[in-house]
Chains A and B, each alone.
Chain A
Amino acid sequence: MNHPALSGPVRFFGTCLADAVFPDAGMAAMRILDHLGCSVVYPLEQGCCGQPAYNSGFPEQARTVAMQQVRAFRGEGPIVVPSGSCAGMLKFHYPRLFADHPQYFEVAAFSERVVEYFDFLVNVLDARFEDKGPPVRVTWHSSCHALRETGSTQAAKALLGKLCNVELVELSREFECCGFGGTFSVKRPEVSAAMARDKVEDIRATGAQVVLTADCGCLMNITGTARKLGYDITGMHLAEFIWGRINEK
């Protein structure tokens, strides 16, 4: 492999939710990169992208946290993010957040390097995987920001489609928000819960054993709601699912 992206390190932005709640997803995502020949680096000073404060009307606090990320990822080469929402924040909203600030150019240079994880796998690495797993039926939830900000949903679904033993059953409302929306889920809990319930019912109607997504926020919301309703639905980040499929004995 002599792809330019592989000549230097690929820095991994784990996301705060993978760090705290879904470390298996983060580990799997990095192992896949390693498996594809990338030199993966995890900057230890990283944390949340700052989106919760940004969306809640606290841009000052969001900027403080954003600068922490910009500094943690000093250097060159791609910054790969296994979440459309965090990637959208880092790539598109950071420059807006710093539009009139002296750090603008430093921030913009950082944002320039950000790539959504599946976008990177498909469009930079041209990844292909051998599916060693048993036949399984899955469904897929498109995260809003992967769909509308990073535009990386197609890439993720293309990878999924190449797993030969995996049958994908589409949701009837694949593109509708699951109701997470970060702090929205606790600031407007009545509406958020209604949206999450509908999403879970939609998933249940597919008869799939697993729901896959590329965003830990959606994942936490969907699996938490399903469990509360007593439904036996397994949710998984697509990276973790793929890593499992290629390592099946």
Chain B
Amino acid sequence: MKSDSFDFTAALQKALADPQIGGNFRGALDGLRGKRLALFNDAEELASLRATGKALKARVLSRLPELLTQLEANCEKNGIRVHWAETTEQANRIVLSILRECGADMVVKGKSMVSEEMGLNRFLEQNGVEPVETDLGEFIIQLAVEPPSHITAPALHKNKLQVAEIFHRCVPGAPYTENVEELNAIARTTLREKFRTAKAGLSGVNFAIAETGTLVLVENEGNGRMCTHVPPVHIALMGLEKVVEKLDDLPPLMRLLTGSATGQLLSTYVNAITSPRAEGELDGPREVHLVILDNGRSTMFADPELSGALRCLRCGACLNNCPVYVRVGGHAYGSVYPGPIGAVITPQLEGIDNKGDLAGASSLCGACEEVCPVKIPLAGHLRRIRAEGQAAPGEGCVRGAGAKRSLVERLAWTAWAYTETHPRLREYLLRAAALMGDKLPEVGPLKTWTAARTAPRVAPKSLRQRVREEGIRHE
């Protein structure tokens, strides 16, 4: 994704001024949060689940190269062809060459955030292949030519009137209707024809089980199963962190994923693909390809602290619970992964120079960490990315470290630290500020503060002064 001229402040202002995001978006996410809470209503069980989830994924990361090799070997044994891509460019090329080989000029796609990361649709269009998004939400935004605004509910920013207009305008023969059932029916009819005729299907992967060489896909609509069962060729895309060790690890991870994402005990479908069409089978793809993408993940992995974010299940709970995300929506982040997890991984994938500002979009309230099913310390990671942005030359570890370094800010914090270590100086300054009363010059941070709030009045006597004067024991 291009990020050269990304102006985060402008994007945030635009989003905040958008009444639809302010109203519908937050209300809709309240619904998801409520469902999650209703499902995880037993605090003890949730604690046990999250501890299990964190431990399982941490164990995977501690053996990552070994498990990926095991996954590859078992997939190949089962007849799944495994491809490796260091960059999104390589991954795109791999997908295109498979499509060319099977003569597909159209490919039906199940939901895949990795494909968004790759910018696959644009790449395929440029190379004469028509990508057809089949997840209803993805279908809507593909017609609207927009990126997803949420990891699991990509068209959350559209209301039914907009969907009605988009379908009527973009789907040949579609009548104008605001009825959600009828809108679904339009998508069903249109896409069934695509499923029936496509020569290749594409999907993401939620979990790839090393022990059995199985790709697990989680979905509610059935479009994922259509994409992976109907066309003769199936291509699955996964980030290299999606591998899990054993089949036995699946039940708790599944519960955490669907419970955290939508408050479901289980999604409608869990589709576990272990091989292409077996001997004697009448359907299922004849070829299954798995593309394992790095795209900066191995660099994240090399950082002992930030590698924690590779535990992410992409459930979206941190988005739904983030007071910033719920107000500005996904597009404001200008990146494939928005919200707290996006603000942690995007600066690492695209560089702090490009996307370091995202880490500032958090009050560090901790609501994201509280709901993360694998206990990623998101606030800590955001703090770390902020520090990386300020790192001295040669000191940071993340790509583009030091790009946010500001001499003025550094001087200000150094002066602050000096004042804070000289309590008497601090008290003099406070007294001076108190004497100024509301005549304190409104410049710098105070000016920003007073745009939406009245200026704090420095008390005539500080607590320190009153302690001395009013007989509190001090030392």
A210 is an interface residue with CB less than 8 A from chain B: no
The answer to the question of B129 belonging to the interface, with a C-beta cut-off of 8 Å to chain A, is: no
- Establish whether residues B463 and A39, one from each chain, have CB atoms under 8 Å apart when the complex forms: no
Which residues from chain A contact B389 at a C-beta distance below 8 Å?
A: 57
Task: Give the dominant DSSP class at A's interface.
Answer: helix
A224 x B458 contact (CB < 8 A): no
Q: How far does the alpha carbon of A58 sit from the alpha carbon of B463 in the complex, in Å?
A: 27
CA–CA, A14 and B417, complex, Å: 18
A187 on the B face (CB < 8 A)? yes
State in angstroms the CA–CA spacing of A176 and B404 once bound together: 29
In the complex, the answer to whether A57 meets B383 with C-beta atoms within 8 Å is: yes
The one of B12, B362, B413 in contact with A56, judged by C-beta atoms closer than 8 angstroms, is: B413
CA–CA, A195 and B453, complex, Å: 12
Judge if B43 is at the interface, Cβ distance under 8 Å.
Answer: no
- Report Cα–Cα, A21/B9, bound state, in Å: 30
**A45-B13 Cα distance, complex, nearest whole Å:** 42
B363 pairs with A189, CB closer than 8 A: no
Interface check A47, CB cutoff 8 A: yes
CA–CA, A194 and B26, complex, Å? 13
Contacts of A228 in B (CB 8 A): 450, 452-454
B295-303, B308-316, B419-427 - the one binding chain A: B419-427
Contact A176 B323, beta carbon cutoff 8 Å = yes
Residues of B within 8 A of A1 (CB): none
A57, chain B: closest CB distance, angstroms: 3
CA distance A39 to B452 in the complex (A): 41
Interface membership of chain A positions 184-208, coded 1 if the CB is closer than 8 angstroms to chain B and 0 otherwise:
1111111111111100000000000
Docked complex Cα distance between A41 and B473 (Å): 5
Indicate whether B255 reaches chain A with its CB closer than 8 angstroms: no
A144 to B366, CA, bound (A): 7
Q: Is the CB of B463 within 8 A of A45?
A: no
What is the chain B residue whose CB lies nearest that of A63? B417
A59 beta carbon closer than 8 Å to chain B: yes
- What's the Cα separation between A186 and B414 when bound, in Å? 18
Residues of the B chain whose Cβ atoms lie less than 8 Å from the Cβ of A58:
387, 390, 409-410, 413
Residues on B with C-beta less than 8 A from A14 are: 463-464, 467
Given A21-B456, A30-B472, A184 and B12 contact (CB-CB distance below 8 Å): no
Determine how close the nearest CB of chain B comes to the CB of A126; give it in whole angstroms: 23
For B16, list chain A residues within 8 Å (CB). 190-191, 194
Question: How long is the Cα–Cα vector from A177 to B379 in the complex, in angstroms?
Answer: 14
Interfacial chain A residues near B449, Cβ < 8 Å: 185-186, 189, 224
A224 contacts B363, C-beta separation under 8 Å: no
B10 to chain A, nearest CB (A): 10
Contact call B363/A192, Cβ cutoff below 8 A = yes
CB neighbours of B386 from chain A (8 A): 55-57
Contact status A184-B364, CB under 8 Å:
yes
- In the complex, what's the smallest C-beta–C-beta distance from A221 to chain B, in angstroms? 7
Q: Which of A10-43 contact B (CB under 8 A)?
A: 14, 16, 18-24, 26-27, 30, 39-43
Of the candidates B430, B445, B451, B468, the one whose C-beta lies within 8 Å of that of A193 is: B451
Q: Give the distance to chain A from B309, nearest Cβ to Cβ, in Å.
A: 17
Is B2 close to A, CB under 8 A? no
Which residues of the partner chain B approach A186 to less than 8 Å between Cβ atoms? 445, 448-449
Q: Give chain B residues whose Cβ lies under 8 Å from the Cβ of A209.
A: none
Contact check, B367 vs A177: say whether CB atoms are below 8 A apart. Answer: yes
A47 touches B420 (CB 8 A): yes
Do residues B462 and A53 form an inter-chain contact, with CB atoms below 8 A?
no
Answer whether residue A120 sits at the interface, using C-beta atoms and an 8 A cutoff. no
Check if B473 sits within 8 Å of A145, measured CB to CB: no
Q: Taking chain B's interface residues, is the majority helix, strand, or loop, or is none over half, making it mixed?
A: helix
Pick from B420, B450, B468, B472: contact of A65, CB below 8 A. Answer: B420
Q: Which residues of B contact A45 (CB under 8 A)?
A: 423
User: Quick one: given A190-B9, A220-B456, A227-B453, are A20 and B473 in contact (CB under 8 Å)?
Assistant: no
Q: Confirm or deny: B461 has a beta carbon within 8 angstroms of a beta carbon on chain A.
A: yes
Q: Is the CB of B367 within 8 A of A191?
A: no
Report which of A40, A61, A181 forms a contact with B473, defined as CB distance below 8 A. Answer: A40
Q: For A180, list chain B residues within 8 Å (CB).
A: 363
Distance of A41 Cα from B430 Cα, bound (Å): 22
A64 contacts the other chain (Cβ, under 8 Å)? yes
Contact, CB under 8 Å: B464 / A19: yes
Task: Knowing A55-B383, A148-B370, say if A189 contacts B451 (CB, 8 Å).
Answer: yes
Return chain A residues, CB-CB under 8 Å to B328: 191
The complex places the Cα of A56 from the Cα of B455 at a distance, in Å, of 22
* Smallest CB gap from B323: residue in A: A177
A9 close to B (CB within 8 Å): yes
Q: Are A42 and B387 in contact (CB under 8 A)?
A: no
Cross-chain contact A191 with B473 (CB below 8 angstroms): no
| The one of A19, A184, A195 that contacts B360, using a Cβ cutoff of 8 Å | A184
B187 CB–A CB distance under 8 Å: no
Residues in B whose Cβ lies below 8 Å from that of A30: 467, 472
Asked whether B470 is an interface residue with its Cβ less than 8 Å from the other chain, the reply is yes
Please state if B474 and A42 are interface contacts (CB–CB under 8 Å): yes
Q: Mark A91-106, 1 if CB is under 8 A from B, else 0.
A: 0000010000000000
Chain A residues, Cβ within 8 Å of B450? 228
Q: Which of B13, B323, B433, B453 contacts A221, CB < 8 Å?
A: B453
Pick the contact of B452: A43, A220, A225 (CB < 8 A): A225
Chain A residues numbered 44-60 whose CB sits less than 8 Å from any CB in chain B? 44-48, 50, 52-59
12 residue pairs from A and B, CB less than 8 Å apart:
A9-B473, A20-B456, A20-B463, A42-B467, A50-B420, A53-B413, A53-B417, A177-B323, A181-B364, A184-B364, A185-B449, A195-B327
Q: Interface on A for B, CB 8 Å cutoff?
A: 9, 14, 16, 18-24, 26-27, 30, 39-48, 50, 52-59, 61, 64-65, 68, 96, 144-145, 147-149, 175-177, 179-197, 220-221, 224-225, 227-228
Extra contacts, 11 of them, besides A42-B474, A47-B421, A52-B416 (Cβ < 8 A), are A16-B420, A19-B464, A39-B473, A55-B383, A56-B386, A58-B409, A64-B417, A184-B364, A189-B448, A193-B453, A221-B453
